[in-house]
Amino acid sequence: MGGFFRSRLFWISLVLVAVASTLPLYVSGYILGLLTVAYYFGVFAMAWDLLFGFAGEVNFGPTFLIGVGAYTAGILNNEYGWSVYLCIVLGALASVVAGFVLALPALRVRGPYFGLTTLVAVLMLQNFVVVFAGLTGGEIGLTIPDVITIDAVKRTIDVELTAAQLRERRRAWRPRRPHRRQADLDHVWKAGNRLAARTADAVAPADARTMRILRRGRGMAIRKGCDASGQRRGVPRTDLSMRAWLTLDRPCRDQQPQDPDRATMRIAAPRGGKHGAFPCAADARQLFTQRLIGLAPRGRARHA
């Protein structure tokens, strides 16, 4: 055992794991998305290899267990709104149970027959998914209210903000941070913008209306397609990732910020200024984004 901890392999893997687990801090959302799929396939292949490589059983039904786990987690999350993490654990447990149920008849037979039995399990699951379409979403699939997002900031920046919005933000920041070059500002913004992170949790009423935010436990969770009161509505379900509605239609410079919908979130006028703290809509949006992913402190506004 001591030899194991001193071996080069151990240290190399330790470094690799450390690098891999901190990747969300410094790579783009695109690479993260790519790696997520790669890691997923890695785990998938390892699971299959465990059965075939070590036990010599050809399993044509790994997707049966994956499907049971995924649907369990998804349906629990969808129907009861339990935490994603809890749903994942329960989904994994369901997979284990399904594995036992599958193995009982399948292990009686060998070789191609075993393969076939596992294949039949997948086909049955597929059929039942269609039969219980009310619960599973059938062939269209399940829309899950929550997913775990890590790169919400980057995704928001990269995807949602148009060039015009970026220009607007630059203009807004220029008077207050004249010593910083615009490129730096943009860079800071993309990296998570510590400057703004220290400011406030506040959002303009206009945003509160359009963003459709729900407060949920620690931090914020966005329910896809929810209105302010949390009711599900027939809003676009094409997006696979959860994304805030950051469609701010008008700047709020000349508006006195008011209390928004109770169900959404508290809107506070930042201290130390009437409404000068929100030079433009982009700032409100920025603050909102920070708040959304928990970079900004929860407390009352402390604008510099």
Partner 1 sequence: MLALQILIDGFAISALYALGATGFTLIFGVSGVLNLSHGAIMVLAAVAAWAAASVLHVNTYVGALVGVAAAMVAAFATYYAVVQPIQKSRRIATEEKEIFVLTGTLLWGIMIQELIAYFFTNNAKTVLPIVEGVVDIFGVRTPKNEIFTAVVCCLVIGLLWLLVNRTRTGKAVLAASMNPRGVTLLGLELTSIYVVVWGIYGILAGIAGVLLGMFLGVSSYSVGPLTASAFSIVVLGGLGSVSGSLIAAFVVGYLETLTAYLFNPAYRTIPALLLLVVVMYVRPQGLLGRR
Contacts to partner 1 by CB under 8 A? 52, 58, 105-106, 108-109, 111-113, 115-117, 119-120, 123-124, 127-128, 130-131
In angstroms, the Cα distances linking 116 to 45, 123, 276 are 19, 10, 69
Rounded to a whole number of angstroms, the minimum distance from the CB of residue 131 to partner 1 is: 6
In this complex, which beta carbon is closest to partner 1, that of residue 3 or of residue 134?
A: 134
Q: Is the dihedral of CA 174, 180, 181, 182 positive or negative?
A: negative
- Whichever of 60 and 173 has its CB closer to partner 1, that residue is 60
CB burial of 54-93 (b: ≥16 within 10 Å; e: otherwise) equals eeebbbbbbbbbbbbbbbbbbbbbbeeeeebeebbebbee
* Least Cβ distance, residue 183 to partner 1 (angstroms): 42
- Burial zone of 227 (CB within 10 Å; 0-12 exposed, 13-18 middle, 19+ buried): middle
Q: Contact, 95 vs 162, CB < 8 A?
A: no
Nearest residue to 243 (alpha-carbon basis) of 190, 293, 199: 293
Select 138 or 272, whichever has its Cβ closest to partner 1: 138
Nearer to partner 1, 15 or 124 (CB): 124
Shorter beta-carbon distance to partner 1: residue 48 or 82: 48
Distance, CA of 253 to CA of 38 (rounded, Å) = 45
Helical pair 29-49 and 62-80, crossing angle rounded to 10 deg: 130
Identify residue 295 by its one-letter amino acid code.
L
Q: Choose between 41 and 85: whose C-beta lies nearer to partner 1.
A: 41
Question: DSSP string spanning 204-231?
Answer: -HHHHHHH--EE-SSSEEPPTTB-TT--
Beta strand segments in 125-261, E:
214-215, 220-221
Nearest distance, CB of residue 122 and partner 1, angstroms = 8
Distance, CA of 216 to CA of 222 (rounded, Å): 8
Q: Considering beta carbons, is residue 31 or 103 the nearer one to partner 1?
A: 103
Smallest gap from Cβ 116 to partner 1, in A, equals 5
Closest distance to partner 1 from the beta carbon of 101 (Å): 11
Q: Which is nearer to partner 1, 72 or 117 (CB)?
A: 117
Angle made by CA atoms 253, 257, 258, in degrees to the nearest 5: 155
Closest CB 108 distance from partner 1, rounded Å:
7
Whole-number minimum distance, CB 119 to partner 1, in Å? 6
Q: How far is the CB of 109 from partner 1 (least distance, A)?
A: 5
